[in-house]
Amino acid sequence: MSDTENENNIRQTTRRQTASCLSHWKAIFLLIIIVILSLITIISITTIFIFIKKAETTINTTTLITNASTTETTMNESKFNKWKQNAITVAGGNEKGQELNQLDHPSGIFIDKKKNIFIADSWNARIVEWKHNAKEGQIIAGGNGQGNRMDQLNDPKDVVVDQQNNSIIIADYANRRVIQWMNQKQQILIKNIFCYGLAMDRYGFLYVSDLLKNEVRRWKMGE
């Protein structure tokens, strides 16, 4: 075999090897592309699935919140609807005056267990008690004109009943005192206070609002 033929054989062999190598790399490259495209497809599908799930969760949560809000609103409306809008007069209502069936600027009220109503009849300077379903009240404190004597009141603003000793406690505003009435006997409990509101808890603590000092103070009998 001549040198020329040998060279031709070598060239052909080299070409075949090169072609085979190129085919091999093309196959690998194509496989890589297929893998990448598959991963992209999987990631895209997963992302879309997660997005759909989140959207469903958001919709369900919104629906639950809306339903809960609607239920709560309905319940609240149901509670409010229990209050009838037409009221009845249980004390006074006979224009302003000082007769026993009249009031003049009534302020604080207290209701006892028997549904009797105790009213701070401010401008009449008295405390009146209206029995349940009564047509007129009865004076149980004050009623002796405005003044600062022990048997007088001046613009009383509130009243509570101390049911432990059957006494009444009065916020005698213009006289700047809290006074207790028991069987027509009087005792000043607190002096020099612009008392406006009163309340008493079941333990006997007395709560008094001071209009001038912008505070509410708690008092205990004997302190």
Q: Does residue 163 surpass a pLDDT of 90?
A: no
CA 167, CA 186: separation in Å to the nearest integer?
Answer: 10
Structure tokens at 85: 């809008």
Residue 195 lies in a domain: yes
**What domain range includes position 64?**
1-83
Say yes or no: 190 and 110 in one domain: yes
Q: Which pLDDT score, from 0 to 100, does residue 9 have? A: 59
Query: What does the pLDDT average to over 94-119?
Result: 94
Q: Does residue 147 surpass a pLDDT of 90?
A: yes
Domain boundary among 16, 51, 83: 83
More confident residue, 5 or 98: 98
Instruction: Using a cut of 0.75, tell me whether the model's pTM lies above it.
Output: no
Say yes or no: 62 and 113 in one domain: no
- Report the domain count for the chain: 2
Say yes or no: 120 and 204 in one domain: yes
Residue 90 lies in a domain: no
- Name the residue among 131, 134, 94, 95 with its Cα closest to residue 115: 131
Say yes or no: 208 and 159 in one domain: yes
